[in-house]
Structure 1
Amino acid sequence: MTILVTGATGSVGRKVVDQLVARGVSDIRALTVNPAKAALPAGVVPVRGNLRRPETLGGAFDGVERIYLAPAPEVAGEVLALAAASGVRHVVDLSGEPDSWWGSVNNAVEDSGLAWTHLWPADFMENSTVWARQIRETGAVREPRPDMATAPVAMDDIAAVAATALLDDTHFGRAYPLAGPEVITRVEQVAHIADAIGREITFIESDRAATIAALAPSMGENTEWFVDNVLLGYSPPTDTLPITSVEDIVGRRAITFREWAKANAEQFIGGKPTPPTT
């Protein structure tokens, strides 16, 4: 069985590759814009192509039975048409509920005629790295809703679920909301980061303008959208979050935010942050 991972050098896609390798899968193809710089594990076959430019995907799906589909809402339908025409049978997509900002990916997958498994992640733990610069420079985090609570999920856990779904037909036709093992507030996330790096961090409740100013050096042109739609415009349904979803699918407890922060402390001290995912 040949599996193609799209976005294979991206934040989640590369972890999907690693999870498949760890499970002993021997026929993995990895879609990447620059195979020479992909630094893929031994045995993984790089395939040149850009998911967001379907015209570059000629032959990428030949002989492929299953794909992991990274979210590319603007071209998802076109990409899936190419996959279906090449004989792909099953797609595991990273998307969201139909009315969410990644919902168009979900809908395009269902319209494709392929067997599917949807992964609908909660807030990514890695998104907290947008605080790294202001933590290093000011010792503080500025946001408008200190008590906003989510059940953030680690990308490693998302990738583990994706690999499981790619290898097991019992996940056909299932949509999996993915969340971490605990509901925590923004203030609690900052406290875990402070503990991980051994430094006091102050949470400063800020208005829209101050929040945008604090995040813009890290997030660039996406800052206003993120502040308006996520920090100010979104109310997470914490009373219904399926906080055991990773454990139910993979068979082990999901990573806690405290564990993730300790493992990624260097990103807040001086390392390269994970690009924010919205």
Structure 2
Amino acid sequence: MKILVTGATGNIGRKVVDHLLTMGATDVRVLTNDPRRAALPDRVEVISGYLRRLDSLPIAFEGVDRMYLAPTPDTVTEVLTLARTAGVQRVVDLSGEPESWWGSVTEAVETSGLEWTHLWPGDFMENARIWAKQIRDTGAVREPYPSTASAPIAMDDIAEVAATALLEDEHAGKSYGLAGPEILTRTELVRQLGVALGRDIPFIPVSRDEAVQAFRSEMGDTASWYVDNVLGGMVENTLAPTGSVPEIIGRPATTFARWAADHVGDFAEAATQ
């Protein structure tokens, strides 16, 4: 069984590759726009390409049975048509509920004629990295919604779920909402990050416009979108722990405290200022 991992340079796709190999997959092909940056193992077949470069895909899909689909809503319909034509049978996609931002990926997959498994993650623990510059520059985190809560999930957990779904037939035709093991407010996330870094990090509530300004140097023009759609979206929609991660991979989902302790290096410069 040949498995294709698209977006193999990405944060989740790269981890999917590692989990597939750990689980014993022996015929893994990866699609990446930057093979050198991906630092891929010698045991995988590397194809240079990108889901938005449709002419790079036929050779990538040749002989593939199953694939992990990174989300590219603008080309997903064409990508899936090429995959089906090439003989791909099943897709495990990273997407979202039909009414969500990534719902168009879900809809395209379900109408493609391929077998599918949907992975619908909530807030990523890795999003905490956007605080590093604020902490470095000011020693604090400034956001508008201190009591807003989520059940953040580690990208590595998502990748392990994806690899499991690719290898095991029982997950075909299922949609999995993926969340971490506990609901945490924004202030609690900052507190736990401070514990891992060995320092107190104040959470300073600010207005929406002040938050956009605080994130602009790190996120550029996407700062407004992030504050309005990601942070603002959490105000009305708190995704609670779903239990899917331990059910699928057979171990507890990673806690934010564990993630923070494992990623102190991501914030090391901030912690020493």
What TM bracket, shorter-length normalisation?
Answer: over 0.9
Offset from partner CA, 1:217-274 (integer Å, 9 cap, x none): 1111211111111222443544x72432100111100000000001011111239xxx
Give the aligned partner of residue 225 of structure 1: 225
* 1:98 counterpart SS class: coil
Displacement of 1:35 = 2.5
Runs of 4+ in 1 over 4 A off after TM superposition: none
Give the aligned partner of residue 174 of structure 2: 174
Displacement of 1:148 = 0.5
Change (3 A) 1:243 1:225: same
Q: In the alignment, residue 92 of structure 1 is paired with which amino acid?
A: V
Give the aligned partner of residue 274 of structure 1: none
Percent identity between the two aligned chains: 56
Asked whether the 8 Å contact 2:150–2:234 carries over to 1, the reply is no
* Unaligned segments of structure 1, at least 5 residues: 272-278
Give the aligned partner of residue 104 of structure 2: 104
Structural RMSD (CA): 1.3
Give the aligned partner of residue 244 of structure 2: 245
Whole-angstrom CA distance in 2 between matches of 1:231 and 1:237: 10
Asked whether the 8 Å contact 2:121–2:178 carries over to 1, the reply is yes
Q: In the alignment, residue 44 of structure 2 is paired with which amino acid?
A: V
* 1:232 counterpart SS class: helix
Give the aligned partner of residue 44 of structure 1: 44
Q: Name whichever structure is richer in helix by fraction.
A: 2
Pairwise mapping of residues 175-194 of structure 1 onto structure 2 (< 5 A)?
Answer: 175-194=175-194
Whole-angstrom CA distance in 2 between matches of 1:231 and 1:38: 30
Q: Aligned pairs, how many?
A: 270
* 1:47 counterpart SS class: strand
Give the aligned partner of residue 256 of structure 2: 257
Pairwise mapping of residues 16-35 of structure 1 onto structure 2 (< 5 A)?
Answer: 16-35=16-35
* Unaligned segments of structure 2, at least 5 residues: none
* 1:77 counterpart SS class: helix
Give the aligned partner of residue 8 of structure 1: 8
Give the aligned partner of residue 113 of structure 1: 113
Offset from partner CA, 1:69-93 (integer Å, 9 cap, x none): 0011111111011000000000000
Normalising by structure 1, we get a TM-score of 0.94
Whole-angstrom CA distance in 2 between matches of 1:81 and 1:175: 21
Whole-angstrom CA distance in 2 between matches of 1:236 and 1:162: 28
Normalising by structure 2, we get a TM-score of 0.96
